């Protein structure tokens, strides 16, 4: 993963949004903000994404986290469709309310030549 040296190689929020819409039409994630090794993603929760009792399903939370780190990385290195995750660890600290958006805030901790490491925090 070669991190670009100048902003002219970094895609804009609009370019990344168009890429997500084209390549991942099934996702309900939308880009709120991207830049400076960060990305913020919003995902509106619907009835189909809830477990009984109103708990947001784990796969939905993982999707939002995955999209956030993917967008943060692409925001740094440019649009590289085959960028892939090598690992994901998630800790469920509390039950998010089902009536709101899930917000993912990603901060890249390190962007190397072939590997990037980041942290994603989910909020509701």
What's the rounded Cα separation, in Å, for the pair 88 and 73? 15
pLDDT band at 92 (very low <50, low <70, confident <90, very high): confident
Confirm whether 90 is domain-assigned. yes
pLDDT band at 117 (very low <50, low <70, confident <90, very high): very high
Range of the domain at 12: 7-123
Helix (H, G, I), strand (E, B) or coil at 95: coil
- Please tell me the predicted confidence (pLDDT) of residue 5: 46
Sheet holding 101-111, edge to edge: 29-35, 38-44, 101-111, 116-123
pLDDT band at 3 (very low <50, low <70, confident <90, very high): very low
Confirm whether 2 is domain-assigned. no
Structure tokens at 85: 């995750």
CATH number at residue 96: 3.10.129.10
Number of structural domains, the chain? 1
pLDDT mean across residues, the chain: 88
Least confident of 41-50, 51-60, 70-79, 105-114: 51-60
114, 110, 107: which is closest to 122 by C-alpha? 107
Confirm whether 77 is domain-assigned. yes
94, 97, 98, 67: which is closest to 83 by C-alpha? 67
């Amino acid at each position: 993963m070669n991190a670009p040296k100048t902003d002219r190689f970094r895609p804009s929020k609009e370019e990344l949004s168009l890429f997500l819409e084209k390549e991942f039409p099934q996702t309900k994630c939308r880009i709120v903000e991207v830049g400076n090794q960060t990305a913020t993603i919003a995902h509106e929760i619907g009835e189909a994404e809830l477990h009984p009792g109103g708990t947001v399903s784990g796969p939905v939370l993982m999707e939002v986290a995955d999209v956030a780190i993917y967008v943060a990385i692409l925001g740094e290195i440019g649009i590289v469709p085959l960028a892939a995750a090598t690992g994901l660890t998630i800790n469920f600290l509390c039950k998010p309310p089902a009536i709101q958006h899930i917000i993912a805030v990603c901060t890249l901790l390190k962007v190397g030549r072939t590997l990037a490491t980041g942290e994603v925090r989910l909020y509701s």
